[in-house]
Amino acid sequence: MDAQRLLVERRSIRRYKREPIPDEIFEKLFELCRWAPTARNSQSYYFIVIKNPEIIQFLGNIREPAKPILEAPYAVAICSDPSKSRRYVQDGCIAAYHFMLAAWTLGLGTCWIADMDRLEVKEKIGVPADHYVATVTPLGWPMEIPAAPPRKLAREFYRIIE
């Protein structure tokens, strides 16, 4: 898949098949993820793949917008360590988006779930309190691919200063 097509066609997936993801796909996914950029190449990010149904239930019920987690066979927490980078928030967020794009190239769906940097989430998945949780995204084979939502025209959101 070429980069332009990837950027235009990636969708947030909220419904998933219950099929497992083979280990080889996880290996390919994280091989791609290791190339996510970070401040000063700190590589402060890390990923936690959650298969445990009880933890998935907890995460999906933590707040209403997290419900897509309940629909997926896996959840993935994308985190970063502040001891490795002063820009750990940015590192975690770009690693999360890199993960989502990489997953899409392998036929997998994800959905950004905001506001998961909570103490109760960290305690449940074993993340130190001072680390950052950029997102916990559902992960799985899409049940369906939604149509593209309406978008602004490009000229509506940029300007050039000469």
In a domain, 65, yes or no: yes
* Residue 49 Cα to chain centre, angstroms: 11
Residue 47, domain member (yes or no): yes
Separation CA 141–CA 124 (nearest Å)? 25
Q: What is the distance between the alpha carbons of residues 109 and 75, in angstroms, rounded to a whole number?
A: 11
Residue 57 domain-assigned (yes or no): yes
162 in a structural domain: no
User: Which residues face 145 on adjacent strands?
Assistant: none
| CATH code, 151 | 3.40.109.10
Residue 161 placed within a domain: no
In a domain, 7, yes or no: yes
Note down pLDDT in tens along the chain; length 162 residues.
Answer: 799 999 999 999 999 999 999 999 999 999 999 999 999 999 999 999 999 999 999 999 999 999 999 999 999 999 999 999 999 999 999 999 999 999 999 999 999 999 999 999 999 999 999 999 999 999 999 999 999 999 999 999 999 999
Beta-bridge mates of residue 74: 139
Residue 107 β-bridge partners = none
Domain that holds residue 14: 3-156
Compute the half-sphere exposure of residue 29: CA atoms within 13 Å on the CB side of its CA: 25
Instruction: Say how many domains are in the chain.
Output: 1
The enclosing H or E element of 122 equals helix 119-125
What are 119's two structure tokens?
């103490």
Record the pTM: 0.95
